[in-house]
Amino acid sequence: MEVSFHGHAVVKVKTGTHTILFDPFITGNSLTDLDADTVEADVILLTHGHSDHVGDTIAIAKRTGALVVAPNELAVWLSKKGVENVHGMNIGGAYNFDFGRVKYTQAFHSSSIEEEDGTVVYMGMPSGILLTVEGKTIYHLGDTSLFGDLKLIGEMNDIDLALIPIGDNYTMGPEDGLIAAEWLKAKTVVPIHYNTFPVIEQDPKAFAEKVSPGKGVVLNVGESLTL
């Protein structure tokens, strides 16, 4: 499969049969190379309800008919917004879909959406997502601080690729990201969630070089790796 990075926390996984998009924040994403009007998706996986993660989900799902998998409160909200194909999940739960297995993990963060009238709606617990497809496991950490159970998640799962936020301010920064990388024991580590806004400016190459030799990989926007 091909895993490509599209700025912020947007990651595309192209398997033999499906195109899976994580957190498709395209409109307003200064870094991305994707176009919300043309991007293809069979499946959209959402970590939490913040606008820089839900992004263009509603428009993409309506146009493509993609299945949207999300924390339960967010899934309910999306269905009320007219997204027909939604699947709600919650932390610790796994489900075998036709495209692969999805397991939600905890993340230490927050999760809400601001409606057009300014009302802030609670979107359930923020999450990370373990995606197992074609025998490989990808861990998208979502937005989170460092927490001790990342060690447990690393012990319980044979992680081929960990997508670790390094932006700091809203999530863990590079120093904590290095500890996460060590605990997760992932074969490959790709930094995400940096340089989109001034407060999350980081040097991803410096981070990748400090991850155990050869494991840290910076994907420039639009670049992919093969798993």
Footprint on this chain of Ni ion (rule: CB under 5 A) = 50, 143
Task: Tell me which amino acid residue 7 is.
Answer: G
Q: Which does 56 bind (CB under 5 to 8 A by kind): Ni ion, Mn ion, none?
A: none
Comparing CB distances to Mn ion, the nearer of 50 and 136 is 50
Backbone angles phi, psi at 189, to 5 degrees: -125, 125
List residues near Mn ion by CB under 5 A: 52, 143
Torsion angle, alpha carbons of 196, 197, 199, 201, to 10: 40
Q: Looking up tokens 């991007």, which residue turns up?
A: 39
DSSP state of 221: T
Looking at the Cβ atoms of 41 and 74, the one nearer to Ni ion is 74
Amino acid at site 152: L
- Distance of closest approach, residue 195 Cβ to Mn ion, in angstroms: 13
- Choose between 79 and 112: whose C-beta lies nearer to Ni ion: 112
* Cβ distance to Mn ion smaller for residue 8 or 18: 8
Q: How far is the CB of 78 from Mn ion (least distance, A)?
A: 18
CB of 170 to Mn ion, least distance (A): 6
The pair of structure tokens assigned to 62 is: 């309506």
**Are 125 and 98 within 8 A, CB to CB?**
no
Whichever of 145 and 224 has its CB closer to Ni ion, that residue is: 145
Q: How far is the CB of 15 from Ni ion (least distance, A)?
A: 26
DSSP-H helix ranges across the chain = 51-54, 57-64, 72-80, 149-156, 174-184, 204-210
Q: What is the C-alpha separation between 106 and 95, in angstroms, rounded?
A: 16
- How far apart are CB 212 and Ni ion at their closest, in Å? 27
